[in-house]
Amino acid sequence: MWKSPRQSAEKHKGQPRKASAMGYVLQFPLVLCWSLAALAAPGDGSVSVTNIFAPLSTPAEAVYEAALLVLVICAGIFLVVGGLLAYTIIRFRRRPADSGREPPQVYGSSQIELAWTVVPILIVFVLILVTARAIYDVQGAVPPPDALNVTVVGHQWWWEIRYPTLGIVTANELHVPVSNPAKPRPTFLKLASADVAHSFWIPQLAGKTDLIPNRENSMWIEPKHPGTYLGNCAEYCGTQHARMLLRVVAHTPENFAQWVAMQQQPAADDPQVHAGRALFFSTSCVNCHTIGETRTADMFGPDLTHLMSRETLGAGAAPNTPEKLRAWMRDP
């Protein structure tokens, strides 16, 4: 009769559990299939997942193709080695009729030794060529004249995002236009750090690139579908590293133009917000944050201009709603 896991656990409670090597071997393919099925779920960008197996940008596709070849070769090696090992265990296992004498010993085979030397060398050579080509395709790309240039600065623990040619400074959300295959418009990023080492990673758009103090790195993305793409800092940068999330919002060209026009407008100067504005400048908020015309080079916290146009608070810690914002102000 079938018993639930709880019933089985109660039956054997207090008894030492016996590890079964064969059980682990049989469970591995099942776990592998579940993992691949979850990772291979297609993403359309509207509800993005951090899935390297669903690339939606040209650099990510180059990384995916190289990684897929590596996985296929490694899977082939695993099947060959595992198959030979299983065959050997079954074919040459001890049988009841066997005598206790030592079996015949084989001390070497020039053909086998040559094979397992030459074949790995060829595999490594192929992987070197494929990897070098992928790196060249990504790193050697030349920006087209109408490419969008953005500077991203990593802080503990948030992202400062600057659009030098557009005069826009925002935080934690990178807004870019979708690239049309007929007229590509990629986004080229300059990456810098204000304090410690960080790492910029949007799995569906590109590979990881580090942000290193006193050094400027670069990368580019070219999302092909509108939507929000999730990422995070991939380099441990301190106690809040896991909460240093990142969003890339890909707009249609028309929507991106609207977003730019809205961000270029001055901060709201409505009589209803005068009290809040006065409170901001009269308290310690102004020591770390800036609003519009008060922007300075030495900024410790995110620029709060047009804060309510952002989707989240605190680098993705909470949705940006009036209720969440009030709770954040009371106890961040």
CATH fourth-level superfamily of 43-92+109-265+306-324 = Cupredoxins -  blue copper proteins (2.60.40.420)
What pTM was estimated for this model as a whole? 0.73
Q: How many CB atoms lie within 10 A of CB 235?
A: 18
Beta-bridge mates of residue 227: 250
What pLDDT is recorded for position 15? 45
**Residue partners of 65: CB distance under 8 A and separation at least 6:** 134
Note whether 228 and 247 are within 8 A (CB).
yes
What pLDDT is recorded for position 6? 41
C-alpha torsion angle, residues 233, 315, 302, 148 (rounded to 10)? 60
What pLDDT is recorded for position 298? 56
What are the Cα distances from residue 18, in Å, to 2, 15, 22, 86? Answer: 20, 9, 12, 22
Taking 50 as the pLDDT cut, the residues of the chain under it are: 1-48
What are the Cα distances from residue 49, in Å, to 37, 60, 203, 212, 307? Answer: 14, 14, 9, 26, 25
The tens digit of pLDDT for each residue in 137-190 reads 888 888 888 899 999 999 988 999 999 999 888 989 999 999 888 888 999 999
Distance separating alpha carbons of residues 322 and 329, to the nearest angstrom: 11
Distance separating alpha carbons of residues 176 and 60, to the nearest angstrom: 16
Note whether 217 and 191 are within 8 A (CB).
yes
- Per domain, the residue ranges of the chain are 43-92+109-265+306-324
Reduce the DSSP state of residue 57 to 3 states and report it: strand
Q: What is the DSSP letter of 223?
A: B
What are the Cα distances from residue 74, in Å, to 62, 87, 104, 122? Answer: 19, 20, 33, 14
What pLDDT is recorded for position 236? 93
What pLDDT is recorded for position 104? 79
What pLDDT is recorded for position 49? 59
What pLDDT is recorded for position 12? 43
Phi, psi values for residue 183, rounded to 5°: -140, 80
What pLDDT is recorded for position 73? 93
Helix (H) or strand (E) holding 219, with range, is strand 217-221
Distance separating alpha carbons of residues 191 and 252, to the nearest angstrom: 24
